[in-house]
Structures are given as structure tokens and as C-alpha cells.
Chains A and B, each alone.
Chain A
Amino acid sequence: MNTNLAEENLSLIRTLMERATVYRRALAPIMITTGVIGTTASVFGMLGKLAASLQFLACWAGAAAVALLAGFALARREALQEREAFWSPPTRRVALALLPAGAAGVIAACVETDPTQLAGWWLLIYAVGLHGAGFFMPSGVRRLSWLFLLAGGVALGWKNSCSPHVVMGLGFGGLHLVYGIYLYATRARQTSL
């Protein structure tokens, strides 16, 4: 065996070992569903004029719970279809990486009473959690987390110039939807190659 082949094999081993730790299950449907739930909650919040702090909190806590349940259901369905364990090591890593961000979101909700500010903080916290979890997911997720970070920064900087439901709708609804569509489009392209 020559040096080139040895280096090539070492590189192959590294790539495959990294791939084994990456979460890929039902990512596109989860992103689209979360996007649709986020957009629907935003429209519901605006039409229902849920402007008070508690109303805003109830609306988005409900949306988060529905999105979480839908995500679990989609991942479980795909796991069953593929005859794989649902609670696989990559799934466990992603869930554990997102857990502190979830806890921080709950704490922020208890401390921050201004819905617009809370929307900005939630986007920032979610961005940080998503970036951490992104190390166990396709690299596009980490790029998406920077968009959430940007959206959170803009929302916090604009202060009261925009409805918090619009901020959440554009952030949690829009960004998830865009990324889900991107995943579907790139997957279709990969399949056709």
C-alpha cells in the first residue's frame, strides 16, 4: 500500500465516522411543519389581537408544544418506516444539545414581560441552541442558526416598532419554511443526479 492510498483510507474513515454521528431523520418535513405552525401561530396571534404578555406567551408556548409534538411524530414515523431505533445516538445528541436552549427560553419567558423583547430573546436563544445542535446535523443547520441570530438581534434592536407576532412569524415561521423548502429542493436535485 502506498502513502496516497493510506491517506485516502484515513480520510474515508474520518468522513464516515463523522457521517455516522449526523442527525438526518425527517429534517425537511420537520422544518416545513415547524414553519407552517410558526406562521399559523403568528397569523392567529395578530388576528386574535393577543397583545398582552400572557396571551402572547400562551399563543407561542402552545405553538412550540405543537411543533415539538409534530417533530417527534414525524421523526418516529420515519424511524418506523426505515426500521430504525427512534432514540438513536444522533437523535439523543441533538435533543441534549437543544435542551439548555429550551430551558433558557422558559427562563426568559419568566423574566421578560415585554412580548417584543421576549420574541427577540427567544430567537437569540434558539439560534445558540440550534448552532450547538448543528454540530450533529447537516452543516446547513449551523448557517440557519446565524440567520436566527441576525433576526433576534434585529428584533431586539427595533424595540416596539413591529408586532411581536410578526417577529415570531418571520423568524420561527419564515426561516424554518425557507430552510425546509431548501432541503426538499436540494434533496430532489441529489436524487436526480
Chain B
Amino acid sequence: MKPDTFQKIDKVIHEKVRLAIVSLLAASPELSFTELRDNLNLTDGNLCIQLRTLQQAGYIAVTKTFENRRPRSTCALTAKGRQAFASYIGILEEIVKQNRPN
């Protein structure tokens, strides 16, 4: 693998749990906090930490609303997050291609 390929890897997305969160959000316009938590078998605390990191990087937007007087948090990928995710997949594909025997 070329050394610069590794340098290009986005460390925010590369972490396993965050990668899983971004992958789920990439396939859906938005997902609620509970949907993410149950899909990935995470604790509330762990999910909160990972969401905060993604939010700080500008990759996701968290919306807080009330439905039937109950608070509801929904997460969605931002344009920046979608772009970062696409680049990350591109790098993974590049790594696989570089090391595939001809």
C-alpha cells in the first residue's frame, strides 16, 4: 500500500462504532437515537459519545423534537459527512485494488 493512502484515512470515520453509525445513516435519510442504539447493540452512553464526536466533526446533524410529549433525537448525515464517507470507501477500495494480485 502506498504510504500516502494511509495518511488519507479519516480517523473520525475509521473507528469501528463510528463507521457503523455512519454506514447506517448513509442508507437512511435519518435514524432515531433508539434505532441506532438497537441496531448496533450499544449503550446509551457509548452512542452519545460517538455521536458527539461525529457531530463535532460536522459529519452528522442531531435534531431534538417532541413526539407525543416524549423527547426524540434523530440523526442524519450532513453533506460533509456523506462526502467523508464516500472518500473513506474510496480509500478502502483503493487499498483492496492495490493489493489484489493481477
A binds B: yes
Report which B residues bind A (CB closer than 8 A).
1, 6, 9, 16, 19-20, 23-29, 31-35, 38-39, 67-68, 70-72, 74, 89, 92-93, 95-96, 99-100
What count of chain A residues pass the 8 Å CB interface test? 22
B28 touches A20 (CB 8 A): yes
A2-10, A51-59, A152-160 - interface stretch: A2-10
User: Does A43 lie at the interface of the complex (its beta carbon under 8 Å from any beta carbon of B)?
Assistant: no
The majority secondary structure among interface residues of chain B is: helix
Q: Tell me, in angstroms, the Cα distance from A12 to B22 when the chains sit together.
A: 11
Q: A83-B70, A85-B32 are in contact. Are A10 and B93 (CB under 8 A)?
A: yes
Query: Known: A20-B39, A82-B34, A83-B67. Is A10-B28 also a contact (CB below 8 A)?
Result: no
Closest 4 CB pairs of A and B: A20-B27, A17-B27, A16-B23, A3-B99
The B-contacting residues of A in range 141-180, CB under 8 angstroms, are none
Given contact pairs A1-B6, A80-B68, A13 touches B23 in the complex (Cβ within 8 A):
yes
